[in-house]
Structure 1
Amino acid sequence: MGDHLDLLLRMVLVASPALGISSCFFDGWRALYRSCNLTQVPQVPNTTKSLLLSFNYIRTVTTASFPFLEQLQLLELGTQFTPLTIDKEAFQNLPNLRILDLGKSQIDFLHPDAFQELPHLSELRLFYCGLSSAVLKDGYFRNLGSLTRLDLSKNQIQSLYLHRSFRELNSLKSIDLSLNQITIVCEHDLKPLQGKTLSFLSLADNNLYSRVSMDWGKCLNPFRNMVLETLDVSGNGWAVDITRNFSNAINGSQIFSLVLTYHVMGSGFGFTNIKDPDQHTFVGLAGSSVIQLDLSHGFIFSLNFQLFETLKELKVLNLAYNKINNIAHKAFYGLDNLQVLNISHNLLGELYNSNFYGLPKVTYIDLQKNHIGIIQDKTFRFLKKLNTLDLRDNALKTIDFLPSIPNIFLSGNKLATLPNIALTANFITLSENRLENLDNLYFLLQVPHLQILILNQNRFSFCNQDHAPSENLSLEELFLEENMLQLAWEVGFCWDVFKGLSHLRVLYLNKNYLNFLPPGVFRHLTALRGLSLKDNRLTVLFPGDLPANLEVLDISRNQLLSPDPDLFASLSAVDITHNKFICECELSTFISWLNQTNVTIFGSLADIYCMYPSSMAGASLYSLSTEDCDEEEVLESLKFSLFTFFTVTLTLFLVAILIVTKFRGFCFICYKKTQRLVFKDPIKGRESDTYKYDAYLCFSSKDFEWVQNALLKHLDAQYSDRNRFNLCFEERDFLPGENHIANIQDALWSSRKVVCLVSRHFLRDGWCLEAFSYAQSRCLADLSGALIMVVVGSLSQYQLMKHRSIRGFVQKQQYLRWPEDLQDVGWFLNKLSQLILNKEKERKKDNDIQLQSVTTIS
């Protein structure tokens, strides 16, 4: 598989010149005159070996049409746009002609001696020429002793009665009579072919035996005393009865490959009017030594009991494109020599242990594109010779049933994880599944003898734990295209996934959203020769990112800006097309390398273009000059000085920011002290107004100790003379014996602001939630923003939204959150104090204050 890699193929294509061929020319041995409006054969030199005259208007071919062309071997006269007349011995001046093509030309007249004097003619193409049965029965092919292949398909032949001259055609091996109107072929029709061995005989698409009443006792065996390597009778509309009668009629004739495709055998899905084949259908083939049987493209629904029992020598059985939904017990019994079984494109949903009983020598089973979701664990385990199992495009969710075989195809299923089973294989493909955990990749890399592993179009994005290196010494090719390795690598996991793959030669990582390569991720891939990183988001490659012995690299369709040419110097080929190059002087080294390197550069010159600046967008890098960049060397010292200045300035600025951030609490205290000293701003007393209290603190009694230490000692005037607020709270200011609701209402309406300290205890306290609701009612009644909500502790938005009254406030208003860092407490208390002091008119004038920005002090 490595010989057909996309990268190496592209290298060959790029190195090959484009072929531009004119429609009318002669190059010394080949004369090509297709579609040249010719009405007669042109005069060509006698050195011509191939003369191609299709798609012209030549009407007549006579003995005088051709000069003597002793070396001519191929003549193509097919597809003339006018009816063609071919006279007696029309080709006698072409004594060494090997291939004569008259196909798809309407032949109005063909002389019975038209093909005489052609002793070396081996292939005669007369398809779609409007010929009748006379071409077979009137001896048109006399004396063609070298004729090997005769194509008479798509004509109007109705009878297969052959002229006795066919007996003399000792070299004849292939006859194609498909798509004619031959309805009956009996023994006397093909007598001239008796005793011959044909490699191919096609009677396909003739409605053979299907629209006539047959007396097989009189017709007898049409292929008596003949050996046919391939007999094609497909597309004739045969049901079970015709197939059975035909099989019985040809009993004893040696037919190694029987093609019976596009039949109508079988009930199909949901119908019962046409029978499925049974154990009597193919009994007549017992003496025909059939090695290959093609029953594809039909309507077989059930493979019945001992269906193929008599086909002891069968090696290849093709049942693809039927409607098979059921495999009866011992359906394959008797196929002791079968090696290849194709049941793809059917309707199978489950496979059982007994389904493939009787196949001791089968090596290849094709089950792709069914609907298989369940397979019993021993279904394939007794098939000791099984070499390849193809289960692509089914609905499998587990692989417990897999035997240890060399080749396993499991693409296009629904596998989300892989069980830890004993497995041995040389080739595994699991593309287009649902594998997410890289643990599955580590498991597969430990499969003994594995050489090729294909995991394209999965979802690899994380791994649960660290793994020991795989140490796989056999793996040569690994395909991981269209996954999400970036998600796993960006969190620092699975960087050693390729460790131990010392024999890996080819690695594909296309479309993995990679914006960086983990340091040393390819370090252990000492044998790697081809690496594809196409269609990712890489902006830069660092020295050491690429394996030392890498030869071919595809880094196209990334976001490389100014790559270092030294990274590519050791390669033999590289694809860097469709990147986002910044065409400034920093790229001059790379541009010079492009114009001088011996490394093969894939792609068109126009595909290596500038993205920035916009004035140069789309310009090819090969068209750019680097001369102007030399003038900038004079300014290097100035640039360095400017760089140093800005670096020092930026460093000092960042250090200042770091200090302020780290010691912001201390800085805030210093700021307040400086403000008092400079502006002589003594602590003001509370202005008299209509309110008894500055604020009502609503909190759970279980939080009293914390509230006292965190707020009351710093804000309440009764706790300290330095404090400026007259605060109200339940433990001190509620009247004993008074109704609790009355106390709450009195506190609410006697306070300028209501501060609700929402904690976990608050959310469990019914009185606190009731007070919160009353506070909201007050806000609605006097159209004020008197309610200040402070969230204490690690309460999530979801926990707050669970309570209706709080949910309504959170959805429409902004709230404060108690800071987690102690050094932010002073700043927070200052802000809370300003909110308590703010009067409603002032708040309305400054309606754009964003409280939420105050809340996120974390």
Structure 2
Amino acid sequence: MGDHLDLLLGVVLMAGPVFGILSCSFDGRIAFYRFCSLTQVPQVLNTTERLLLSFNYIRTVTASSFPFLEQLQLLELGSQYTPLTIDKEAFRNLPNLRVLDLGSSKIHFLHPDAFQGLFHLFELRLYFCGLSDAVLKDGYFRNLKALTRLDLSKNQIRSLYLHPSFGKLNSLKSIDFSSNQIFLVCEHELEPLQGKTLSFFSLAANSLYSRVSVDWGKCMNPFRNMVLEILDVSGNGWTVDITGNFSNAISKSQAFSLILAHHIMGAGFGFHNIKDPDQNTFAGLARSSVRHLDLSHGFVFSLNSRVFETLKDLKVLNLAYNKINKIADEAFYGLDNLQVLNLSYNLLGELYSSNFYGLPKVAYIDLQKNHIGIIQDQTFKFLEKLQTLDLRDNALTTIHFIPSIPDIFLSGNKLVTLPKINLTANLIYLSENRLENLDILYFLLRVPHLRILILNQNRLSSCSGDQTPSENPSLEQLFLGENMLQLAWETELCWDVFEGLSHLQVLYLNHNYLNSLPPGVFSHLTALRRLRLNSNRLTVLSHNDLPANLEILDISRNQLLAPDPDVFVSLSVLDITHNKFICECELSTFIKWLNHTNVTIAGPPADIYCVYPDSLSGVSLFSLSTEGCDEEEVLKSLKFSLFIVCTVTLTLFLMTILTVTKFRGFCFICYKTAQRLVFKDHPQGTEPDMYKYDAYLCFSSKDFTWVQNALLKHLDTQYSDENRFNLCFEERDFVPGENRIANIQDAIWNSRKIVCLVSRHFLRDGWCLEAFSYAQGRCLSDLNSALIMVVVGSLSQYQLMKHQSIRGFVQKQQYLRWPEDLQDVGWFLHKLSQQILKKEKEKKKDNNIPLQTVATIS
């Protein structure tokens, strides 16, 4: 009960302001008057259960200081700024008081009957009050029948002559005399306590037995006929001799837990003037039933052989914070019942197979914070009951010596790789090492019965790719934080590392430089409930990235700009603080979800803030409004629709152009066919006029076959009734036997148009070139463009320009070129037909320039 009240007092004092309990206030049950500058006890209601009056200026407490407070259980009057006087029966109006705290108040006067009437007082705190021996000798605590805990530490008590009334305090269990000036305690001083069983008795930090010469024959056993569950004599500066004498003196008293911490036993490192404990030091405790021995914070350098041989009942041995560098053979001989051995924070550099001989029941060995670099193979093999081995913060480079035990702690060593050993464990703690290859993880995931694996703060960053996952039905928690998994996964290897972990419930992947998650990396984690991905570089998180049954997700301190709220709807708890949110309308959906979701959002709202734009930098997302984003959302949809329409239209237009370009010949045929069908545009002959022929075709006789197939069959009426032109050409229409020049001139002047088919043969044929010149003469005479020049074949501009007559035409007039692609022939013939049918506008002749003169010149 006293422990509970003590805890409650601490909670009230520390957390009062947090829970709305203001200083100098009263809520009906708790009167909180700390730091209120009070000079006397305030009047409170009789319903008060806890009255806190520390840190004030109250000088005097008398019987009339308190009203009758029947329900008051705790009174705090400690830490007054002025000396305190406590008069006779000062607390008689508090009949049910359980805890009285006067600590840290300088008591100027304490009446011997000050505590009378406190029949239910459970705990009395009188630490650091400046009290002398009189408080023990003069019966100040008589009639406190319920008193269980008495704290008289940090006073000025010099001797422990107890008033006989201590013998009647049958409920007394705990007495604290630490940090006084008690240099000597002998049997007759504590005689009133004989026959009692105390749960705690402290004489720590008194320089006990170390500043005076002790006649142990006269002083005898100060704890005769007493049973002490905890005896604290630490911090008294005891040497090996004092410890040995004290052990012999109390040899017939029961002390289940003996605290000898902060001693000066041992040579320390580099000194030999002070002895280390030997087999005689604790020999006197053979019949004291010591189960817990604390020898921490000393200077023991060497654990000598059989130093604890007589402690047959010892279960816990604490040797931490010494200078132990050597463990002699059989140092732990005789400790057949020892279960916990603490050798942490020493100077051990190596361990040998014989070091732990004599510990058949040891279950926990703590060797952390030494300098152990090598351990013999058989060191722990014979410890059949060993359950936990703690080798944290040493210098180990291999673990081949590790036996199959439930809990193995190996963090803070220099492990680069792990040997392939047969290992069985429930917990393996390997953080803060130098492990790099994920093959080590595959190996550890095959350890039978493994429930917790901790690999934080290593260098896991590479993957050989030749490992296959195996089923591990026991693993529940996996910690891989503060590694470099991004480097391994970006090679697209080891994505299957979690495949066999169907029972995994907790996974930590924080601080792994992750830019993205490999596809399906968590798909086999059907039992996963908690996932930490905080402090990475993730920019996007999709619904398929997370396990289906995930409940708690920590995605804080990433680079999520505009997360999709659908990813988080199935969670129970989400931590998304300290991300780099871009607070534009794209984030409006997430902001709305954040304000209405049932998912518990961890962290303060101020930690979920914008980083862009600058005008909103640092503003909490919970403070933002999304009113203006609805119109923009509609506009965004409209813009998107317009974009789709324009894109489709442009695509169709380009596809049409490409199709027409690719199949232009077929398209032209279709066009002409449709034109004939729709407009009844049947081929018709030319209108009658003064010309005998529609056109004169001038070409080399060597090209006749090509001309006939390419042109005549498609244009000349004598070749087909569907053709519309009456053409003239030398092979058919020239008068045999007549002068050739005369035939050419007749053909030119009797045709509406002259079509010269200029080919390589044409350029070599003098008659063709002569005909071309006559045709030009007609053009000049009629002032029209009756001459149509068609270039056939791959003749270059340079080849055409070599001939004077053709050069002048090419420089001033446009000409046609026979198409290279056959599908363009139809279109070309149509264009040629249009040129033949084209009528020239009559030009007004200038009377000052006779036509004959121009013709003669040409």
1:465: Cα distance to partner?
2.5
Residue 364 of structure 2: aligned partner: 364
- Pair 221,622 (structure 1): closer, same or farther in 2 beyond 3 Å: same
- For residue 324 of structure 1, what is the aligned residue in structure 2? 324
CA distance in 2, matches of 1:679, 1:619: 75
Q: How far apart are residue 647 of structure 1 and its match?
A: 10
Q: Which residue of 2 aligns with 1:315?
A: 315
Q: Distance in 1 between matches of 2:429 and 2:41?
A: 55
Q: Answer yes or no: is 1:639 the counterpart of 2:640.
A: yes
Q: Which amino acid aligns with 1:601?
A: I
Shift of 1:642: 3.6
SS of corresponding position for 2:545 = coil
Map of 1:213 onto structure 2: 213
- Quote the residue 1:575 is aligned against: 575
Change (3 A) 1:220 1:18: closer
Which runs of structure 2 are paired with 1:328-343 in the superposition (5 Å)?
Answer: 328-343=328-343
SS in structure 2 of the partner of residue 627 of structure 1:
coil
Q: In structure 2, what is the Cα distance between the partners aligned to 1:648 and 1:287?
A: 102
Distance in 2 (alpha carbons) for counterparts of 1:519 and 1:489: 10
Distance 2:383 2:331 in 1: 15
The Cα shift of 1:97 comes to: 0.4
- Equivalent residue number for residue 152 of structure 1: 152
| Counterpart amino acid of residue 478 in structure 1 | L
Q: Distance in 2 between matches of 1:562 and 1:635?
A: 17
Residues 140-164 of structure 1: CA distance to partner in whole angstroms, max 9, x if unpaired?
A: 0000000000000000000111010
| CA distance in structure 1 between the aligned counterparts of 2:157 and 2:610, rounded to whole angstroms | 65
Q: How does 1:93-492 map to 2 (within 5 A)?
A: 93-492=93-492
Query: In the aligned structure 1, how far is the partner of 2:296 from the partner of 2:70?
Result: 47
Q: 1:324 to 1:613 in 2, by over 3 A?
A: same
Q: Check 1:425–1:568 CA distance in 2 against 1; reply closer, same or farther (3 A cut).
A: same
- 1:639 Cα deviation after fit: 3.4
User: Deviation at 1:678?
Assistant: 11
For residues 361 and 647 of structure 1, the distance between their equivalents in structure 2, rounded to whole angstroms, comes to: 82
Written as runs of structure 1 = structure 2, the 5 A alignment for 1:58-97 is 58-97=58-97
User: What is the CA distance between 1:390 and its match in structure 2?
Assistant: 0.4
Deviation at 1:650, TM superposition (A): 12
Distance 2:313 2:356 in 1: 17
**Aligned-partner Cα distance in 1 for 2:172–2:648:** 88
Provide, for residues 220-264 of structure 1, a one-character-per-residue CA deviation record: whole Å limited to 9, x for no partner. Answer: 111111000010000010000100111111111111000000000
| Cα distance in 2, alignment partners of residues 182 and 648 from structure 1 | 102
CA distance in structure 2 between the aligned counterparts of 1:229 and 1:647, rounded to whole angstroms: 90
State the SS of the aligned residue for 1:544: helix
Amino acid at match of 2:598: N
| CA deviations over 1:577-634 (Å, ceiling 9, x no partner) | 1111111111111111111111111111111111122222222212222221222214
- The structural deviation recorded for 1:38 is 0.3
CA-based RMSD: 2.0
Distance 1:647 1:464 in 2: 48
After superposition, the Cα gap between the structure-2 partners of 1:506 and 1:648, relative to the gap in structure 1 and judged at 3 Å, is farther
Residues 678 and 577 of structure 1: CA distance in aligned 2, closer, same or farther (over 3 Å):
farther
Evaluate the alpha carbon distance shift between residue 635 and residue 131 of structure 1 in structure 2; reply closer, same or farther with a 3 A threshold: closer
Q: Secondary structure at the match of 2:228?
A: strand
Q: Distance in 1 between matches of 2:635 and 2:151?
A: 79
* Structure 2: runs of 5 or more not aligned: 1-15, 655-795, 800-858
- Residues 42, 440 of structure 1: alpha-carbon distance in 2 compared, 3 angstrom cutoff: same
In the alignment, which residue of structure 1 is the partner of 2:749? none
Does residue 615 of structure 2 align to residue 607 of structure 1?
no
Query: Deviations 1:175-226 (Å, cap 9, x if unpaired)?
Result: 0000000011001000000000000000001110001111111111111110
CA distance in 1, matches of 2:491, 2:287: 68
Say yes or no: does 1:33 pair with 2:33: yes
1:379-778 correspondence runs (5 A) = 379-632=379-632, 633-642=634-643
* Contact 2:153/2:177 (8 A) holds in 1: yes
Read off the aligned partner of 1:357 and give its amino acid letter: Y
SS of corresponding position for 1:31: strand
Please give the TM-score of this superposition, normalised by the length of structure 1.
Answer: 0.73
Superposed CA offset, 1:657-701 (max 9, x none) = xxxxxxxxxxxxxxxxxxxx9999xxxxxxxxxxxxxxxxxxxxx
Distance 1:649 1:55, change over 3 A: farther
Partners in 2 of 1:276 and 1:257 — Cα distance?
21
Identity score, percent: 76
Change in CA separation of 1:593 and 1:286 when aligned onto 2, cut-off 3 Å: same
What do residues 422-443 of structure 1 show as CA deviations (whole Å, max 9, x unaligned)? 1111111101000000000111
Larger Rg: 2
Deviation at 1:645, TM superposition (A): 5.7
With over 3 angstroms needed to count, the CA separation of the structure-2 counterparts of 1:679 and 1:438, relative to structure 1, is farther
Distance 2:359 2:171 in 1: 38
Letter in 2 for 1:138: D
- Residue 91 to residue 652, structure 1, CA distance change in 2 (3 Å): farther
Residues 333-363 of structure 1, C-alpha deviations (whole Å, 9 max, x = no match): 0001000000000000000000000000000
- Separation in structure 2 between the aligned mates of residue 436 and residue 651 of structure 1, nearest angstrom: 56
Distance 1:93 1:167 in 2: 27
For residues 299 and 248 of structure 1, what CA distance do their matches in structure 2 show?
22
User: Counterpart amino acid of 2:538?
Assistant: L
Q: Which segments of 5 or more consecutive residues in structure 1 lack a partner in the other structure?
A: 1-15, 654-676, 681-858
SS of the residue aligned with 1:210? coil
CA distance in 2, matches of 1:17, 1:178: 33
State the AA in 1 paired with 2:300.
I
Rounded to whole Å, the distance in 1 between the matches of 2:57 and 2:652 is 85
CA distance in 2, matches of 1:278, 1:85: 52
The code of the aligned residue for 1:56 comes to N
Q: Relative to 1, partners in 2 of residues 1:621 and 1:84: Cα closer, same or farther, differing over 3 Å?
A: same
Q: Which amino acid aligns with 1:359?
A: L
Aligned length: 642
Letter in 1 for 2:564: D
Q: Shift of the alpha carbon at 1:18? A: 5.6
Distance in 2 separating the partners of 1:574 and 1:650: 45
Shift of 1:649: 9.4
Distance 2:453 2:205 in 1: 43
- Where 2:189 maps in the other structure, the secondary structure is helix
Quote the Cα distance in structure 2 between the aligned partners of 1:79 and 1:298: 34
Hey, what's the Cα distance between the residues in 1 that align with 2:310 and 2:185?
A: 25
Query: Partners in 2 of 1:442 and 1:21 — Cα distance?
Result: 55
User: Deviations for 1:397-425, whole angstroms, at most 9, x for unmatched residues?
Assistant: 00001000000111100000011001111
**Contact residue 61 and residue 86 of structure 2 kept, 8 A:** yes
Q: What's the offset of the Cα at 1:20?
A: 3.6
User: Relative to structure 1, is the Cα distance of residues 652 and 534 closer, same or farther in structure 2, using a 3 angstrom cutoff?
Assistant: farther
1:45-97 per-position Cα deviation (integer Å, ceiling 9, x unaligned):
00001000000000000000000000000000000000000000000000000
Letter in 1 for 2:424: T
Structure 2 CA distance for aligned equivalents of residues 109 and 248 of structure 1: 41
TM-score by length of 2: 0.73
User: Does the 8 Å contact 2:21/2:32 carry over to 1?
Assistant: no
2:829 alignment partner in structure 1: none
